Structure 1
Amino acid sequence: MGGGDASRSAASSPSSASAADGPYASTYERFPGRPTALVGATVYDGAGQRFDNATVLFRDGEVVEVGQGLATAGYDVIDGSGKFVTPGVIDIHSHLGDYPTPSVQAHSDGNEATSPTTPEVWAEHSVWPQDPGFSRALANGGVTALQILPGSANLTGGRSVTLKNVASRTVQGMKFPGAPYGMKMACGENPKRVYGGRGRMPSTRMGNFAVNRQMWLDAKAYAAGNRSRRDLAKETLAGVLDGDILIHNHCYRADEMALVMDMAKEMGYKVTAFHHAVEAYKIGDLLRENDVCSAVWADWYGFKMESYDGIPENASLLWKAGACVVIHSDDENGIQRLNQEAAKAQAAGRRMGLDIPDAEVIGWITLNPAKAMGIDAMTGSLEPGKMADVVLWNGDPLSVYSRPEKVWVDGALLYDALDRKRRPVSDFELGQPGEGDVK
């Protein structure tokens, strides 16, 4: 189908932070699509609005208009009566491709656990495009874009990569064009457990901060000096200090999140999102004031000491505080049900008296993750000129009984539950008995 692996030339500086520039540039090209009108559906635009009995028009890969009574001449008309339309779901925290299925040791490529700080590594260089998890996320979860992060064994785990959820022979053919890179950092138990157990620093939380602060001091010296001698680790750190690379910080405890925001101010960078963030509800005001998103689960808690104060009302309390809420997966199965996870978080708020509109909850899995990933000008909501990343659900997307009926990426129909020829299967699965279809 599409030419997702076509080569392109891209001349830029080594520290260029956009996935569209520099080495290993995106070669993504959208698959061919048809001008399409989804008519008569309930539409959640991702930006907090609901439209009843509405029409969504898209063509040439872009959203054209959303509203009632729109002219549909020149479009393929699809009856959406009784159905729902949302932007494509976006997962800000995934390890697909780096920890692919089948989950065997040979596929464990997400943690470069050889040093507490490894900013020089890039998650994309571990991504296996044939991971069956990609097609399952598309078909079962309506996921059209996702960020692949290194694991959390390291204080600094390396660069993340944002992908379009499309079939490709290469990771470059999946890279979201124009998306900024992220850099993964981690607080708390994981780094001190992994490295302290080997008799080296850090072995405590104070050791975590000391190693981090020295790393940033060294990076600031590099950034202020002559960058002609390449240093892969410091190139990434300099990109963060320049504001080109976004910090995604694995952090559970509220006190540590507050300390990290102080360290960011000391060293001159910004945290775009805390991930897992089970205690974010304790500092919603600080997160709002610092414009930091919280990427959270609906109800994971108690699986290690720093997660024991996790509560199901976390997301709702953050919403009440006016902070940015994102529902994430961190799991190859959870990514297929982010809509249900968002509904669970909403229900927990309702039980404590917080009535959060459905249209805003949809933003937790569409526009808010796009914002934290630096791609909200291109996707995440059904606004004219944005990418036509669209899901037609067979029922209310916040119901456990609903699932995607059709999924478009950049206006190309890549999944159709009613057409067996549009149910993507990876090449890896084709060689396995009984795995000829997405289930």
Structure 2
Amino acid sequence: MTFRLLAGLCGAALVAACTQAEREPPQTASAKPAANKPTPPRRAPEAFPSTYRAYPGVVTAITGATVYDGEGNRIANGTVVLADGKVQAVGGPDTAIPQGATRIDAAGKWVTPGIIDIHSHLGNYPSPGVEAHSDGNEVTGPVRPEVWAEHSIWPQDPGFARALANGGVTSLHVLPGSANLFGGRGVTLKNVYARTMQGMKFPGAPHSLKMACGENPKRVYGGRNQMPASRMANVALMRQTWARAQEYDRKWDKYEASGGEQPSRDLALDTLRGVLDGKILVQNHCYRADEMANIIDMSKEFGYKVSAFHHGAEAYKIADLLRENNICGALWADWWGFKMEAYDGINENIPLVHNAGACAIVHSDDPNGIQRLNQEASKALTYGRRAGIQISDEVAWTWLSLNPAKALGIAERTGSLRPGKMADVVLWNGNPLSVYTRPERVWIDGALMYDANDPRRRPVSDFELGQPGEGDVK
């Protein structure tokens, strides 16, 4: 996400616009005043706002394509119109096209919403993968909700450009790692060039809290002869932490309602209070079915909600619980068996979760996997069909766009080609569920950010400029 768009896209006028946007003072909502006291200081959930501004685009009409709208519908010989950064219209060949629009004949090609990766570490585990750049885990203690992934993001990570050009990824959620029970906050980004993290930050997207259960926390900290060294200690320490968060929440609620002495500020508990207040979404690393069920019980005990279980190799065993509790499974197509808690995974996991009526998502957790999430969805679809689960291609696309948008709290703005939503769109040169297909063009907020046929519109990280084949476009 800090890739440079070469000549023609990031010209002097655009760079000036980007610079002006990034220098604008952040706009934040004032905290509500409490009775008989000054307005309390701004708490962490509202801090560090986005300065993202969309790149300029032109009115564009893509015609003659097969369209997957991201909501499970398919349109043959479809038309998609982009204007003012939004999807203006989606329909058949008789869809009205504004006068003067740039027309793209996409006969024989496919159009979809941009892919959203709900689980990425781009920027905080960037390429090249060296110790100096490994900033995704704060392994100084098992409870670290005060750290924010966005403060480790290096915008020049070449992985952002590769995810855009090779994978059609238009938004992604960057998380801390899974060494800790409470790993800190995650952040949703738009996959655009910016010199700063704030310039990439998806405007209005809620933060997440990264939590983890299972082997990782007990291995990292049990090996130091400290808690947690077992799964029961994992749960005990999480419950103890939530109990502290509830007490902190009560103190602040009382202060904001009736004044008095202001409670001491605690950045870690600010994050947990944000979860209890519904402002911050829980993204929970968890593999085993029994542990996911334990986490669901704990969330009910302390009054918060899990948005998605990530990795979830055994999600198929409790797909009904996921459905009943409106929890998504952010899953791999066939990555399992590499450690004991992943040993009982199966290739039919995603289609089984979907078939049970739960929310299924294809995620990466990998800088290479993010470049082929469309192929991962295709593998899962094939495994399901072999097992007798018939899911259409256009419905399977919800695993890549609308469902991750729902789990990130941004579905009202992106994730499908519904008129009025952000024009985050990919034109594929063939069937997007084929291994032979690549993105031909990618738009973000209606701006053409990648064009395989135009060397001037191929994003390159600043870090890679000057390498053979890069930075020499005239």
User: Which category describes the TM-score, using the shorter chain as reference length?
Assistant: over 0.9
Deviation at 1:8, TM superposition (A): 2.6
Distance 1:375 1:353 in 2: 33
The C-alpha deviation readout for 1:280-334, integer Å capped at 9, x for no partner, is: 0000000000000000000001111000011100001011100100000000000
Structure-to-structure mapping, 1:205-244, within 5 angstroms: 205-226=231-252, 228-244=263-279
- For the residue of structure 2 that corresponds to 1:170, the secondary structure is coil
Deviation, 1:58, is: 1.0
Q: Does residue 43 of structure 2 align to residue 15 of structure 1?
A: yes
TM-score by length of 2: 0.90
Aligned counterparts of 1:82 and 1:172: Cα–Cα separation in 2? 39
The yes-or-no answer on 1:31 pairing with 2:48 is no
Q: What percentage of aligned pairs have identical amino acids?
A: 65
Q: Does 1:341 align with 2:376?
A: yes
Q: What letter is aligned with 2:54?
A: R
Q: Report the counterpart of residue 194 of structure 2 in structure 1.
A: 168
Segment drifting more, 429-438 vs 387-396: 429-438
- Pairs aligned (count): 434
Tell me which residue corresponds to 1:257.
292
- Indicate which of 302, 306, 331 corresponds to 2:366: 331
SS in 1 for 2:195: coil
Distance 1:333 1:405 in 2: 19
- Equivalent-residue separation in structure 2 for 1:239 and 1:103 (angstroms): 33
1:420 maps to: 455
Residues 1:84 and 2:115 aligned together: no
Displacement after TM superposition at 1:15 (Å): 3.2
Alignment of 1:278-357 (within 5 A): 278-357=313-392
Q: Partners in 1 of 2:80 and 2:64 — Cα distance?
A: 9
How big is the shift at 1:431?
A: 3.9
Q: Does 1:125 align with 2:142?
A: no
Residue 98 (1) aligns with residue 98 (2): no
Please give the residue correspondences for 1:55-74 in structure 2 after superposition, counting only pairs within 5 Å: 55-68=79-92, 69-72=94-97, 73-74=99-100
1:266 to 282, 301, 316: 301
Matches of 2:365 and 2:448, distance apart in 1: 26
In the TM superposition, residue 228 of structure 1 has moved relative to its aligned partner by: 4.3
Picking from 166, 184, 190, the partner of 2:216 is 190
Contact kept? 1:425, 1:437, Cα under 8 Å = no
Give the structure-1-normalised TM-score.
0.97
Is 1:364 equivalent to 2:399 in the alignment? yes
Work out whether residues 178 and 216 of structure 2, in 8 Å CA contact, stay in contact via their aligned partners in 1.
yes
- Point out the structure with max Rg over C-alpha: 2
Measured in 2, the distance between the counterparts of 1:378 and 1:218 equals: 35
Is the CA contact 2:67–2:110 (under 8 Å) kept in the aligned structure 1? yes
Q: Give the corresponding residue for 1:47.
A: 71
Alpha-carbon distance between aligned partners in 1 of 2:467 and 2:105, rounded to the nearest angstrom: 37
Q: Deviations over 1:35-66 (max 9, x none)?
A: 00000000000000000001001100000110
**Paired residue for 1:112, among 121, 128, 138?**
138
- 1:239-289 Cα shifts (integer Å, max 9, x gaps): 000001000000000000000000000000000000000100000000000
Change (3 A) 1:219 1:168: same
Shift of 1:404: 0.3
- Structure 1 CA distance, aligned partners of 2:330 and 2:162? 22
1:273 & 1:286 partners in 2: Cα distance? 12
Distance 1:320 1:8 in 2: 47
CA contact (8 A) 1:150 1:184 kept: yes
Q: 2:424 maps to which residue?
A: 389
Q: Deviations over 1:135-166 (max 9, x none)?
A: 00000000000000000000000000000000
Following the alignment from structure 1 to structure 2, what is the Cα–Cα distance between the partners of residues 431 and 147? 29
1:5 match: secondary structure: helix
- Tell me the secondary structure at the aligned position of residue 234 of structure 2: helix
Tell me the secondary structure at the aligned position of residue 426 of structure 2. strand
Q: CA deviation at 1:196?
A: 0.4
Q: Is the 8 A contact 2:120 2:365 kept in 1?
A: yes
Distance 1:43 1:146 in 2: 22
Residue 77 of structure 2 aligns to a residue in which SS? Answer: strand
Residue range with higher mean Cα deviation, 429-438 or 70-79: 429-438
Structure 1: unaligned runs, 5 residues or longer: none
Let me know the Cα RMSD of the aligned residues.
Answer: 1.3
Q: Deviations over 1:346-374 (max 9, x none)?
A: 00001011110111111100000000000
Alignment match, 1:201: 227
Residue 6 (structure 2) aligns with: none
CA contact (8 A) 1:82 1:395 kept: yes
